[in-house]
Structure 1
Amino acid sequence: MRRLVVLAALLATGCGATVAAPEGGAAVTVENCGQRVTYDRTPSKVVTNDTGITELMFALGLADRMAGYVVGASQQGDIDSSPWRADYAKVPRLAEEISAEVVQGAGADLVFAGWNYGFSESKGFTPDSLKALGVPTYQLTEACRNGVGKQRGIMPPLEALYTDLENLGTIFHVEDRADALVAQYRKQVADAEKLVSGKPRPKVFLYDSGLDQPFTAGRNAAPQDVIGKAGGDNIFGDLDDSWTTVGWEAVVARAPEVVLINDYADGDAVTPDQKRAFLESYAPLREVPAIRDKRFFVLPYAALVESPRNPAAIEAFARYLAG
């Protein structure tokens, strides 16, 4: 019987680095979510939303360019396990939910967020509403709308990560640091792929949350590449979306051999152990191979959304699948 594997922390290099950026700087233009966006000056009071987004800034050594970050109470575990704990400690935590009032109160000159990672039409907090207030934005590429309703994702998840690192490198004039990180991450992923080369590829179900219906990841969310590069196949990799809701009958039909649990407190079952207990007790799943064989692996939320923890997550999961 395999025990539940919990990865409490993912190690990364370059933790807490600080890279100076010019106060003014020449205007730069990047492509963000399919649009050319120009930034007239180097931002110096950035507000970020969510742990993965915040850690992109930290990984690039840009903590000193931030006015603060917004992170919900359910993500405190991400902060505690973060390779960038020192940066979280020195940058103000502004609120648990982002809003125009939070942004204006911080005097933000850039908001870095994403659709369903802060931006929301229903809450009236969007790039357009911030533009009306004179506040520029940068949108997380994993969460870009793909032109089909509100579905998200316009490129493979790791390419989204590399794109954002390179764009942020341009915006903040730290291109060398961005290039070095991308090269490091590409090598880390390639090395992880070697661990599982030639081995059978198990079918993997990413379980985020949900009792009546599971919330999982399609092909445009980070778990697609976390699973795929680690030597597995995402059972919902055919869905042209990032994070989405499916039905339990679809999980049963696709017969996953491993369950990857998102350590994220959302819904009725909030801890990894509670999520596992629910899956094991839910009668329709009883004969699903992953449940029957008790094959569970846990990664923190910040490793399963687009973030600089993705390569280490791939390595950790690859070691589990190769074992």
Structure 2
Amino acid sequence: MHRSRLRPRPRPRLRRPAAPRRTTAPAAACALVLLAGCGAEVTPEDDGARAGGGHYPVTVTNCGEERTFEAAPERVVTNDVGITEIMFALGLTDHMAGYVMRADHGEHADTPWAGEYGKAEWLGKESITKEIAVDAQADLVFAGWNYGFNEAEGLTPATLEKLGIDSYLLTESCRNGEGKARGVMSPLDALYTDLRNLGRIFDVEDRAEELVADFQARVAAVQDEAPEGADRPRVFLYDDGRDKPLTSGRFAGPHDIITKAGGDHVMADLEDSWVTVGWETVVERDPEVIVVNDYGDVSAEQKEEFLKSFAPLRNVSAIRNDRIVVLEYAELVESPRNPSAIERLGDYLREHG
């Protein structure tokens, strides 16, 4: 049985325009001291030290809303692996109060930022809650729609704002005005946007630009060697689901990972991020390669076994030719692991083209 598991290798609300929101880390911290009954005092001198050098205030646009920061947040709580590693990659571990994610999401031993996980506090394996943010004395929560923020769970930027806690939304998760559909730009542009925005918010713009330049160069190198035209294999991303598969539309990370690596993303016409489709659509589009998302309680091996035994797929090219590739969850959501996923998938597509 042929199967390829691509493992990481270490490498150095759209909404109506609103008036800029002015946020201060000290103000949020004070609100939390009152709420939680604990925490250190922030003096005017401390505030001045953080805001020194003329960098602040800074204003960034996040999911269509302008946000102004008077100082760099000091106690950030992140939700999920990709978001957490964006902070690590920018060298902002010291600005974190902790992170929330499943223990198996990080694949910590294989990430270039493995050491940072030991420096930041793991606050829990379930999704972030108001209680977690308050207990951590957070002044900012970095999460996203369906990456922690969810009206059904009662956690939104608006609910945190009432507690004196600011929010930054993962750009991949921005809602685009069509119900709860997500996505306002290409996935890699979303990553670069967040790196640059956070670079400004935390006064590490040079570091952000270095990362963006490195990622862009690596992606361009893969594209230079990628197949073109009719030689580009049709690729389908399978996340999970038996009755109907969960897959990626054009605004989730796999779209750019597939297309930059040299594949033709068969669900590129779906203007959303992570979406459910029918198996008949998969069969009709006949992918030549299937990328399996190694994520959740169902293992990648179990997912592959299901795909190969599922009768409606028996004549799909990827199944007939045994072209199934496994990528880690942390590589497929918006994260600094996206470029390395493009490199490895590019290697696979050239080898098995």
TM-score by length of 2: 0.86
Q: Tell me, yes or no, if structure 1 residue 311 matches structure 2 residue 310.
A: no
Find the counterpart in structure 2 of residue 302 from structure 1: 330
User: Aligned ranges for residues 149-228 of structure 1 at < 5 Å?
Assistant: 149-198=179-228, 200-228=231-259
- The C-alpha deviation readout for 1:47-96, integer Å capped at 9, x for no partner, is 000000000000001111100000024525x3332221110111100012
| Residues 246 and 74 (structure 1), Cα distance of their counterparts in 2 relative to 1, 3 Å cut | farther
Find the counterpart in structure 1 of residue 105 from structure 2: 75
Find the counterpart in structure 2 of residue 146 from structure 1: 176
| Residues 10 and 242 (structure 1), Cα distance of their counterparts in 2 relative to 1, 3 Å cut | farther
How well do the aligned residues superpose, as a CA RMSD in angstroms? 1.3
Equivalents in 2 of 1:285, 1:73: separation in Å?
Answer: 33
- The C-alpha deviation readout for 1:164-201, integer Å capped at 9, x for no partner, is 00000000000000001000000000001112144711
Equivalents in 2 of 1:122, 1:252: separation in Å?
Answer: 34
Find the counterpart in structure 1 of residue 144 from structure 2: 114
TM-score by length of 1: 0.93
SS of match in other structure, 2:290: strand
Name whichever of 153-162 and 198-207 sits farther off: 198-207
Equivalents in 2 of 1:264, 1:195: separation in Å?
Answer: 29
Find the counterpart in structure 1 of residue 321 from structure 2: 293
Query: Structure 2 residue aligned with 1:88, among 117, 132, 139?
Result: 117
CA contact (8 A) 1:23 1:44 kept: no
Q: Tell me, yes or no, if structure 1 residue 233 matches structure 2 residue 264.
A: yes
Find the counterpart in structure 1 of residue 50 from structure 2: 23
CA contact (8 A) 2:228 2:262 kept: no
Equivalents in 2 of 1:4, 1:79: separation in Å?
Answer: 23
User: 1:265, CA displacement in angstroms?
Assistant: 1.8
User: 1:11, CA displacement in angstroms?
Assistant: 2.5
Find the counterpart in structure 2 of residue 16 from structure 1: none
Find the counterpart in structure 2 of residue 280 from structure 1: 308
SS of match in other structure, 1:83: coil
- The C-alpha deviation readout for 1:272-305, integer Å capped at 9, x for no partner, is 1111100000000000000111001111101000
Equivalents in 2 of 1:135, 1:10: separation in Å?
Answer: 36
SS of match in other structure, 1:206: strand
Q: Tell me, yes or no, if structure 1 residue 245 matches structure 2 residue 276.
A: yes
CA contact (8 A) 2:245 2:279 kept: yes
User: 1:132, CA displacement in angstroms?
Assistant: 0.8
Equivalents in 2 of 1:35, 1:149: separation in Å?
Answer: 18
Unaligned runs of 5+ in 1: 14-21
SS of match in other structure, 2:105: helix
- Mark the structure with the bigger radius of gyration: 2
- The C-alpha deviation readout for 1:203-228, integer Å capped at 9, x for no partner, is 10100111111000000001000000
Query: Structure 1 residue aligned with 2:87, among 42, 57, 69?
Result: 57
Structure 1: which 4+ aligned runs deviate by more than 6 Å? Answer: none
Find the counterpart in structure 1 of residue 69 from structure 2: 39
- The C-alpha deviation readout for 1:16-54, integer Å capped at 9, x for no partner, is xxxxxx634522110000111112211111000000000
Aligned amino acid, residue 308 of structure 2:
E
Equivalents in 2 of 1:24, 1:146: separation in Å?
Answer: 33
CA contact (8 A) 2:233 2:289 kept: yes
SS of match in other structure, 1:162: helix
CA contact (8 A) 2:10 2:110 kept: no
Find the counterpart in structure 2 of residue 101 from structure 1: 131
- The C-alpha deviation readout for 1:222-255, integer Å capped at 9, x for no partner, is 1000000000011111000000111111111110
Equivalents in 1 of 2:104, 2:228: separation in Å?
Answer: 39
Find the counterpart in structure 2 of residue 4 from structure 1: 3
